[in-house]
Amino acid sequence: MLGEKFYEEVQKKPLFFLIYSILAIVFFSGITFTFVIPGLQGFKWYFFLSALLIYFGVVNIFVGLFKQRRPLVFILSLIFSVLGMGWGLWLEWGEFSLVEHMNPVVLIGYPCIIAFIILLMFHFSSKFKTKISNYR
């Protein structure tokens, strides 16, 4: 969904952009874990929207790296969001505000929802990129 020059840069330095996207998923899923789940204590819209914005950037990197590899994008997103959530839980272990987030549905659902959001954004971004490429 970004310009063709962006995708050319991604293809020139694939390892750099892959590491950047992995770190972005890990850190933002760990940092925003307790702030982006609607209905739970600590939910803030600006954290939710900033996480979506970061995932949008990650998705566009994935579009440049993995053309039409939806299962790989889903698995990478799931693995690294689980790692990020585990990192966030490890850092905040013992805090009272974490009690509400220790529900098994939240622990299993949060990484899955992140992976599905990234996959959905990837699907639409890759379709949009191919439509733009076909017009040129």
pLDDT tens, position by position, 13-66: 999 999 999 999 999 988 887 777 777 777 788 888 998 999 999 999 999 998
For residue 29 the two structure tokens come to 């899923």
Closest residue by Cα to residue 64 from 17, 132, 121: 17
Confidence of residue 97 (pLDDT cuts 50, 70, 90): low
Name the helix (H) or strand (E) containing 70. Answer: helix 70-92
User: Which regions of 5-54 does DSSP assign to beta strands (E)?
Assistant: none
Q: For position 48, what pLDDT does the model report?
A: 87
For residue 79 the two structure tokens come to 């693995």
Q: Express each pLDDT in 101-114 by its tens digit.
A: 677 887 888 889 99
